[in-house]
Structure 1
């Protein structure tokens, strides 16, 4: 499991940041705290009872500023930085050019 700030930053998260989820994907939202990232990419969090849970980024939400600056809940997979995945292909991201030089 990765708990480093750099590993969390790749998904746009911070340690002990409030995060919400639904138990069994139904019912009311429950607010917990971010702990780390599991090797499979799921997010490790603690619920209000102190129990650890590992959930996919598509089913948890964090608070981020919206278009008008007001905090709102957003799905982690929408907030996550995707540039890190380019390293898997062994190439550096290059800005497209209009003319060959």
Structure 2
């Protein structure tokens, strides 16, 4: 799975939303930041909903999760830390009777 194609799909989907004027991403010190310019009449909640919708659409068919954290705003520009990641899977039994234990994987 190539995260660059996921990011490209995400940015294209996000830029197509009516609330968003421009969207871009940039890595700074290994941390991916999402820069979003929105129209004047929209508030931050509508932009966050558009980000969640676009990330869900771009992650469809892949075992990925995303996390979006608001960083700062300036006029009608917003900056978020946005990250796609593969969830960690347990590889051994720790003996604590966890509901997602590796021992119960084949029993379902």
| TM-score when normalising by structure 2 | 0.29
Q: Name which one, 1 or 2, has greater alpha-carbon Rg.
A: 2
